[in-house]
């Protein structure tokens, strides 16, 4: 149970967001427990994101196109309904006057 608690608190401990008593407990546990200590060293080590390249995939453009068509189609339908409702109200007002 203690290791589970320590592993849950590791991100807070690394960021320095724990209380002093919790920090002392964590430090003591990380010195004693080899597995948690190794996990702490791995989590504390910065990641090299410079080597990772995010590329746009071809399907992204197609998905965006489908989304826009659907979104603008819904907007156009709502606008047409609103226009029709306003037209009917104006026609009724015109007939009553």
Q: What is the DSSP secondary-structure string of the chain?
A: -HHHHHHHHHHHHHHT-S-HHHHHHHHHHHHH-HHHHHHHHHHHSPP--TT------HHHHHHHHHHHHHHHHHHHHHHHHHHHHHHHHHHHHHHH-
Tokens of 18: 């724990």
CA distance 31 to 37: 7
Q: What is the mean pLDDT of each run of 10 residues along the chain (97 residues)?
A: 86 90 92 92 79 63 82 88 94 89
pLDDT in tens, 49-67: 666 565 656 667 778 888 8
Q: Give 4's contacts (C-beta < 8 A, 6+ positions apart).
A: none
Calculate the average pLDDT of the chain.
Answer: 85
pTM of the model: 0.48
Structure tokens, 97: 């006057």
């Amino acid at each position: 149970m203690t290791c589970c608690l320590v592993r849950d608190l590791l991100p807070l401990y690394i960021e320095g967001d724990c209380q002093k008593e919790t920090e002392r407990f964590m430090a003591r546990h990380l010195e004693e427990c080899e597995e948690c200590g190794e996990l702490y060293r791995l989590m504390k080590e910065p990641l090299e994101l410079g080597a990772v390249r995010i590329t746009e995939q071809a399907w992204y453009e197609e998905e965006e196109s489908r989304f826009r068509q659907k979104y603008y189609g819904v907007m156009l339908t709502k606008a047409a309904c609103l226009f029709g409702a306003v037209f009917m109200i104006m026609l009724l007002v015109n007939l009553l006057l």
